[in-house]
A = this chain, B = another copy of it.
């Protein structure tokens, strides 16, 4: 019923091979012949059979993009950027490449399943975005799977995810540790000493990294401990650049024009009143990225700082619940750091519902700098991640249009955006 290449060949009075050559355009064909073929294609309304083409050529036009949750702009922005780069001529028969977006919900099993499915499709490339479950088993399984994909000729790029040992998958990782640290150091510099932290789901790389940054900040670890000067003023879009000890390949957009270099000055912290982390009751059900959620952990903030940490999903509800819980644990806290902007918004809502003003009573900080964050009232202090740029770069690398970073790993930095939601604590 549907026209085939042979039909076109017959109508154009050429061989199937010639039609194929015209369509793929990678082979010299006489202009007049090409004309004839193209006309036949038109007349027959012929559309190439993708599977047949892929089978014969042993390659496909499909590019897989793994995301935890496509409804979350964090992933949507990256996926869109990847997609914009894989697009354009280059696929078979002059066609474009198609993005297969796989929603894993953060589940390790689904990640693996989708990878198999993409392998089955003989995907040209696969881009894995965002964090993942942080366990040796999953890492091992992932490693094996990615190795197999690579063997089969599929290019693998990680975007916003830690490198996978044992593979040569290119990794564009976000420097979450540094970002988390900048945020907390910013708050410490403002004078905050009782800082709550609404973390993401336990057992995930992003959660762990950001939390580690927070703790490093609290502990005033190393020469990088900072004190802000002018950049502390809120309301603007102040930029922050870490000191030189932060290694890693910097992403081009990491440092704004108003960058402020900071010095290593240790903080005297509030006398400790150690508090173990608690989980947010409820609120994490069914949320994408909600994994585990029952793991309590001890604060690593050292004896001089008070640590208040709760875990929850990467969603608004968890932010709300987490803030409520933290307020219960320490009604005197003066600042809240959230796992990301969405969580921060939820936390803001909880604070308001408790009659607390932001930032007069409690400062709030997020992470990611999603588009809506600047429109929060007050605008959210956060760490801007160059999601779009990173996604685009991942896409180009996946297409072989850009050389991978040296060593196959690039650490992409975020930029501290100091805005209205953080200020010095009262009195």
Q: Could you tell me which A residues sit within 8 Å of B by CB distance?
A: 1-2, 45, 47-55, 60-62, 69-73, 75-77, 79-81, 83-84, 87, 95-96, 98-103, 113-114, 116-122, 148, 151-152, 316, 342, 345-346, 348-349, 371-372, 375-377, 388
Contact = CB atoms under 8 A, between A and B. Distances in A.
Give the residue among A2, A79, A375, A377 with the most B Cβ atoms within 10 A.
A375
A95 B71 contact: no
Nearest to A103: B83
B98 A45 contact: no
Give the residue among A71, A98, A118 with the most B Cβ atoms within 10 A.
A71
A77 B70 CA distance: 7
A79 B152 CA distance: 29
A350 to B, nearest CB: 11
Give the residue among A1, A80, A99, A118 with the most B Cβ atoms within 10 A.
A80
Contacts of A349: 375
A179 B399 CA distance: 43
B96 A51 contact: no
Nearest to A91: B117
B50 A121 contact: yes
Nearest to A87: B103
Contact of A95 (B72, B103, B120, B375): B120
B73 A79 contact: no
A380 B48 CA distance: 48
B375 A50 contact: no
A87 to B, nearest CB: 8
Given A2-B151, A98-B114, 10 more contacts: A47-B119, A51-B51, A51-B52, A51-B122, A52-B55, A70-B83, A71-B73, A71-B81, A73-B76, A349-B375
